[in-house]
Structure 1
Amino acid sequence: MISLALTLVTALAAVLCFAAQSERTLRWGRGLSALSFAAVLVSSIYLLVLIFHNRFDIAYVANYSTVELPAIYKFSAFWAGQQGSFLLWLLIHGMAGLYLAVKRDLSGAGMAIYMALQALLTVFVLAKSPFVPNENVVENGMGLNPLLQDPWMAVHPPIIFIGYALLAVPLAYSMAALLTGQKAQAWLPSARRWALTAWAFLGAGIFIGGYWAYKVLGWGGFWGWDPVENSSLVPWLVAGIFVHVLRVAQIRQAAITMVHLAGVFAYALVLYGTFLTRSGILGDFSVHSFAGNSIGMTIAVVNALVLIAGLTLLMVKAKHLPQGEYYPGYNSREFMVLLGALLMVFMSAIIFLGMSMPLLTQLIGNPAAVDTDFYVRTTMPLAIALLLVITCGLLRGYGQDKILADGKKLVVFGVFGVACGFAAGVRQVMPLLLAAAALMAVGATVRAFRKHGIGRGGMVAHIGLGISLLAMVLAGSGSQSYSQEMNVGEGYEVFGHQIVFKGQEFSADGKEKYYVYAVDGREVRALTKLHDNGTDAAREPAIDKGVGGDVYLAPTPAKDNGRLEIILKQGRMDMDDDFAYRYDQSTILKQEDGKLLVQAEVSITDGDRVEHTEVSMVATADGGTSQPVEIFGGQKRLRLTGVTQSQKQIRLEILPSLETEANQPILTSVSVKPCIWLLWLGSMLVCGGTLLALRR
């Protein structure tokens, strides 16, 4: 907490020094920026030390880590909760601030604004600190959500927060230019580089989150229009507006006003999305949101401050900004880029309205959310129009009537796009038009590159965009799903694929089980992570990948899985269909680590023979763990799951034999995703092309 307080104090002091604008105070400001980053770095290292040393006397460590957690996920526990994620955001912001201070590329006014934003982020961390002591003494933590124990989710949040943090830099350039009257050519190139970097990282984070959802969640999709997903998408769209309008402003300085607007809204929407996801408003509408808490009001106030301050400064300085025409005529690239930006504004506004619906409806009555069809119906026509505008824009140069290439040949690309969609089983008109427009944009991009009308990075990114949208049509509208209960060893013909369920397999440590399938002779496995008591913790589907697309298998365990739970009183007998059980006695031993070892003796009879067995459980203050014990040669298994304080009663779970459980039929949802690999390829091209554009 001391280092966090030092971070805040030094950030505020740096603001004053940079605002003074003298050579000496600027030097002090750079030193204070470095000191502020050093302080937040100390806080971050200290939190990692607490996590790796299993300091469960700290509430955050107890909530998101355990003794047994692998090292990679102990690292990701750093940002698993909102306290740690705020600290991560602050750390990245401080690192970028240190770079800016050393490079001296940003003016004193810009650094003052940037360090003011750093102070506001520090307020978030202080308001929701990860260093609060734990009220309860525990021997082990609750651990990371099993769904988050995945390599993709270990890298997804840091990449998202790099994008969030770096969007503050173009805002600082923009506001500093308004304050000082700096000429466009002096700050636009630097702002463009930072915006492209932020845009690439934010896009990569969104892509990784979509791939994780597809690979892990088992619902068969990569995008659910979840409000939390949208809270990252909207700033990404607005940052895209910033990048493209900035290019026009380098040629037509009258567009500078639009650049300032996009810079303010891009960062303000980052804060707004943070408010939605962390205030608890979306608790009933999103699987990603955090529980409600007092931090929401703090974020809302900061968001309002940034937005109001930025717009007020822009209004005050508007009359001093360059005036003139935004474009020379309708047949120019300037007009097409600005029209495309306008379409992206409409798209962002619609998604913003949809994701804000729980908040808006809560203000007037019962909170409600829009369904996914709302987003599809409203954004698909805009996406088609945007692709057509991109196609027309790429075939033109900047200036009046500068035609780079004829667009008639692109009709072939459009026809091929419709053919691809039709071959994938798409019959709806709008998705087919989207597929056609996507490939026409790809063709226009290639032609523009050959005519030197677009750089290499822009070419790669625009091709990636077209491929991604084509893949969304093929794998989304072209997807087919069917549910079938499958028996072990039997083959099923589903969508032209031969699928055989080969049964279940259990790992040696009892922490995982696999549903094994063969798809056209190739073995694939669906993973289920298990809690310590043997119940399902998280499921991952089985995916058979191919050039033509994926076969996606999501098993759903039967509700009647042969397991039974009974309560036994000491000396009394209870029965199931096969055996009778009697609880004889138990002992409780205290272990060195403070845990309790409970051992219970149980007698079992089948009517002819009597078998005595001992079941045990390791009990802690926050739960217990136990392993099943086989009885009567493995015909069934017993697990001790509870004991009363008086030791007069125990709770037993009766499980079928491993062989019986492994051969139970399973309900499986089978989906085909035509050419979905194109989506992953296209997403990588968009992000890679954006970074490649930095070289220009």
Structure 2
Amino acid sequence: MTGTILLGGALLFALAAVFCESQGKVHAGRTCSALAGLSSLCAAAVLFAIILTDDFSYAYAVSYSSVALPFLYKVSAFWAGQQGSFLLWLVIHAVVGVCIAQEGRMSAAGRSIYHLLTAMLAVLVLIKSPFVPAETILPDGHGMNPLLQDPWMAVHPPIIFVGYALLAVPFVYALESMLRAPGDGSFLAPMRRWTLIAWAFLGAGIFIGGYWAYKVLGWGGYWGWDPVENSSLVPWLLACVLLHLIAVARTRRGAFYLVHLAAVFSYAFVLYGTFLTRSGILGDFSVHSFAGSDIGFYIALANALVLLAGLIILLYRIERLPKGDVYENHRSRPFLILLGMLLIVFITAIVFFGMSMPLISGLIGESAAVDTSYYVRTTLPIAIFLAFLMAVGVLVPQEGACPRRPYWILAANIVGGVSAWAAGVTDIPSILLASFSLFAAAAAVEAYRTHRLGVGGMIAHIGTGLALLSFILSGTGSQSTTVTLLPDVPQEVYGRTVVYRGQTFAESGSEKSYRYEVDGSLCEAVTKLRANGEDAAREPAIAKGLAGDLYIAPAPTSAEREEIILRRGKTVMGINDYAYRYESISFEPQGGGKTLVTAQVSLTDGEAVDDAAPTILATETGGTSRPIDVMNGKFRIRLTGVSADERDIRIEILPSLAEEMALPVTASISTKPGISLLWLACVLVTAGGLLAAAQAVSPVEGGGSPGQSQKKS
């Protein structure tokens, strides 16, 4: 109840801030904005308290937390579900609203629009609230999906939502400018700074998600063109377009309408991506999508209101926007920038169409999704021209004179193509992209040296060029095979010696490791286990190297198991020629609704006899049990069920731990040439954006140094 009241307070204070700003009461508006931010923060604190204190009287805590969940993942359980992630979004958005109100650079009209967006998010959180009581109070929750129990996933969603929240600021600046003074260019500097920060954070979140996928999922890649992955990529690409249009608009006011259009669509696609992710439409097409719920309708409504409001205002005020050419001639830098941004818009449209296919096809018939090869086939040719424009665009002077011809950077062009060829890439388009990507990185260095590009733009351009090169090396240049590895038997795979050293099991029984030696260096693939010992989530073994990684993803393997039903007082023969007899059973309350059930079972092979006591920890939602050694470790048994009348029990028979550890393993082994270059590139792109934002200064109206804002991605 307290959390819901605080959410209601955030909504009321946000609306009060809108009213105060509309009445010219600036101080009261700031106070209401601060109270809205404080209310949302307190609501978040309440949810944290619910999760950290194991209060399972709330459905959200039951669904995403448990008593045994480590502290780090209890914290990340806050945003593991739809309700918590919406609250996180609201908190970030409201806190940014406080900063905007205190900064004072945005007009009252702009602040009012921003507070309306705060109220909109508060309504969405109230509709999908994390403070709904559980139907039944349980002593323990279901816990978090083992795949999400990774430190990188603990930071990935918050960073993504920072980017989402901050993209509202340039949207508001665009609407404010059109409503207040369409010809005034003073909004460009703060819009650029906020867009840079939003773009950097959203990009960092995407990059971290890619690294998590590479490190944890074990399918061999960092990007699967999943619709939910694409839903973050689209607004990031549009934010990149917005940044470059701002650069053009600082000297060419005829580009104002393009800036406003990009700002509107950047934020609208944040909401559209949220709609796809949270509505359940992608439930059958994405491993990341949330289950369907009625929140999808309200997100779609919010998305429509935001997009229509932005477009209607733009159409209404477009005649008052500055007129004029946005470039002088086809050899000028503004033209090349606009051409490059047009190519990014084409890529965005391709990705948008692909990720929306389940929705589009569902409206006209049976839902279907595009194949991942669709994205590669369609975007690769465009990426080649884009990389070339990145290089030429930064070398051309602003006035459109002949570009400098620093022939030394042509060597980088050649090195890029040769690198791709050396990695085994043979198709011409991929070699061209690799060639032009390194050309673009070298051109950024030359542009910075000749003061055509700021240091932040240079770093981001270098990172982008290296990322494009790494896409080709680690993607097209990758080789993959499936091998069966016997313990302690060396095997040559892609010129490297791989020795499988068997399995090891953690003392807690919660995970096991497949141990490999690659050229004498040890690496491990970790598999998280369920309570019954079955695989829950797998992480690959990665042998890192400067030239690239060797990526080993073991296939799911488990020892043969047999289940038999034992009736009390009767002897049953198992397939391993042992006789089993269920003697008795006992129950010992453990507190918290848990009961330790212990069965007494006798085993014999006709000569030796063993008395075993397998157990199961029963709860209201099920039970957990682990195998125990019997017959001096010759094999293991596990209690898996007890009948209601206690006359029958079910046990599982497994081979010994030593036998299971010595089983051969089948693994998918692939090469990832140049993959470390990708992680470096991601850091450079993010750092370049943040550095450019930190160095941003207010330009003279209509002027400024265009070189400092030339940052492509």
TM-score interval, smaller chain:
over 0.9
Task: Give the CA deviation at 1:557.
Answer: 3.0
Task: Give the CA deviation at 1:544.
Answer: 0.5
Cα distance in 1 between the residues matched to 2:288 and 2:599: 41
Structure 2 counterparts to residues 420-435 of structure 1, below 5 A: 420-435=419-434
Task: Give the CA deviation at 1:577.
Answer: 1.9
Task: Give the CA deviation at 1:267.
Answer: 0.3
**Structure 1 regions of 5+ residues with no counterpart?**
none
Whether contact under 8 Å (2:213, 2:223) holds in the other structure is yes
Task: Give the CA deviation at 1:321.
Answer: 0.1
Aligned residue number for residue 13 of structure 2: 10
**Structure 2 regions of 5+ residues with no counterpart?**
697-713
Cα distance in 1 between the residues matched to 2:29 and 2:130: 28
Aligned residue number for residue 337 of structure 1: 337
Cα distance in 2 between the residues matched to 1:42 and 1:183: 41
Whether contact under 8 Å (1:568, 1:574) holds in the other structure is no
Whichever residue aligns with residue 461 of structure 2, its letter is: H
Whichever residue aligns with residue 132 of structure 1, its letter is: V
Aligned residue number for residue 265 of structure 1: 265
Aligned residue number for residue 597 of structure 1: 596
Question: Which runs of 4 or more aligned residues in structure 1 lie more than 6 Å from their structure 2 counterparts after TM superposition?
Answer: none
TM-score with structure 2 setting the length? 0.96
Aligned residue number for residue 562 of structure 2: 564
Cα distance in 2 between the residues matched to 1:566 and 1:193: 67
Cα distance in 2 between the residues matched to 1:404 and 1:18: 50
User: Is 1:526 the equivalent of 2:518?
Assistant: no
Secondary structure of the 2:526 match is strand
Structure 2 counterparts to residues 573-588 of structure 1, below 5 A: 573-588=572-587
Structure 2 counterparts to residues 493-642 of structure 1, below 5 A: 493-558=492-557, 561-572=559-570, 573-642=572-641
Structure 2 counterparts to residues 122-271 of structure 1, below 5 A: 122-181=122-181, 183-271=183-271
Task: Give the CA deviation at 1:138.
Answer: 1.3
Secondary structure of the 2:492 match is strand
Aligned residue number for residue 379 of structure 1: 379
Whether contact under 8 Å (1:278, 1:295) holds in the other structure is yes
Cα distance in 2 between the residues matched to 1:57 and 1:464: 48
Whichever residue aligns with residue 119 of structure 2, its letter is: A
Whichever residue aligns with residue 131 of structure 1, its letter is: F
Cα distance in 2 between the residues matched to 1:52 and 1:471: 41
Task: Give the CA deviation at 1:528.
Answer: 0.6
Whether contact under 8 Å (2:551, 2:671) holds in the other structure is yes
Aligned residue number for residue 472 of structure 2: 473
Secondary structure of the 2:7 match is helix
Cα distance in 1 between the residues matched to 2:506 and 2:541: 17
TM-score with structure 1 setting the length? 0.98
Task: Give the CA deviation at 1:514.
Answer: 0.4
Cα distance in 1 between the residues matched to 2:596 and 2:90: 44
Whether contact under 8 Å (1:184, 1:250) holds in the other structure is no
Aligned residue number for residue 411 of structure 1: 410
User: Is 1:274 the equivalent of 2:274?
Assistant: yes
Aligned residue number for residue 361 of structure 2: 361
Cα distance in 2 between the residues matched to 1:333 and 1:184: 23
Whether contact under 8 Å (1:566, 1:653) holds in the other structure is yes
Task: Give the CA deviation at 1:571.
Answer: 2.4
Task: Give the CA deviation at 1:562.
Answer: 2.1
Secondary structure of the 1:565 match is strand
Aligned residue number for residue 59 of structure 1: 59
Task: Give the CA deviation at 1:578.
Answer: 3.7
Aligned residue number for residue 689 of structure 1: 688
Aligned residue number for residue 483 of structure 1: 482
Number of residue equivalences: 691
Whichever residue aligns with residue 566 of structure 1, its letter is: I
Secondary structure of the 2:187 match is helix
Cα distance in 2 between the residues matched to 1:149 and 1:547: 29
Task: Give the CA deviation at 1:346.
Answer: 0.6
Task: Give the CA deviation at 1:564.
Answer: 1.9
Task: Give the CA deviation at 1:17.
Answer: 1.6
Task: Give the CA deviation at 1:185.
Answer: 3.0
Whichever residue aligns with residue 316 of structure 1, its letter is: Y
Task: Give the CA deviation at 1:443.
Answer: 1.6
Secondary structure of the 2:418 match is helix
Whichever residue aligns with residue 685 of structure 1, its letter is: L
Whether contact under 8 Å (1:598, 1:617) holds in the other structure is yes
Aligned residue number for residue 19 of structure 1: 22
Cα distance in 1 between the residues matched to 2:229 and 2:387: 23
Cα distance in 2 between the residues matched to 1:510 and 1:184: 66
Cα distance in 2 between the residues matched to 1:392 and 1:415: 16
Whether contact under 8 Å (1:639, 1:653) holds in the other structure is yes
Aligned-pair identity in percent equals 52
Cα distance in 2 between the residues matched to 1:357 and 1:194: 32
Secondary structure of the 2:591 match is coil
Task: Give the CA deviation at 1:591.
Answer: 2.9
Whether contact under 8 Å (1:334, 1:399) holds in the other structure is no
Task: Give the CA deviation at 1:182.
Answer: 5.2
Cα distance in 1 between the residues matched to 2:671 and 2:400: 48
Secondary structure of the 2:13 match is helix
Task: Give the CA deviation at 1:627.
Answer: 2.4
* Greater CA drift, 3-12 or 317-326: 3-12
What does the per-residue CA deviation read over 1:200-233, in whole Å, with 9 as the maximum and x for residues that have no partner? 0000000000000000000000000000000000
Cα distance in 1 between the residues matched to 2:605 and 2:169: 74
What does the per-residue CA deviation read over 1:159-179, in whole Å, with 9 as the maximum and x for residues that have no partner? 000000000001111100111
Whether contact under 8 Å (2:535, 2:556) holds in the other structure is no
Whether contact under 8 Å (2:182, 2:317) holds in the other structure is no
Aligned residue number for residue 659 of structure 1: 658
Task: Give the CA deviation at 1:677.
Answer: 0.2
Aligned residue number for residue 702 of structure 2: none
Secondary structure of the 1:142 match is coil
* Greater CA drift, 359-368 or 613-622: 613-622
Secondary structure of the 1:650 match is strand
Cα distance in 2 between the residues matched to 1:409 and 1:594: 74
Task: Give the CA deviation at 1:186.
Answer: 1.4
Task: Give the CA deviation at 1:130.
Answer: 0.2
* Greater CA drift, 392-401 or 89-98: 392-401
Task: Give the CA deviation at 1:137.
Answer: 2.4
Secondary structure of the 1:78 match is helix
Aligned residue number for residue 321 of structure 1: 321
Whether contact under 8 Å (2:252, 2:325) holds in the other structure is yes
Aligned residue number for residue 79 of structure 1: 79
Whether contact under 8 Å (2:526, 2:540) holds in the other structure is yes
Aligned residue number for residue 93 of structure 2: 93
Cα distance in 2 between the residues matched to 1:26 and 1:136: 47
Cα distance in 2 between the residues matched to 1:261 and 1:195: 14
How large is the RMSD of aligned CA atoms in angstroms?
Answer: 1.1
Whichever residue aligns with residue 384 of structure 2, its letter is: I
Whichever residue aligns with residue 443 of structure 1, its letter is: A
Cα distance in 1 between the residues matched to 2:527 and 2:260: 49
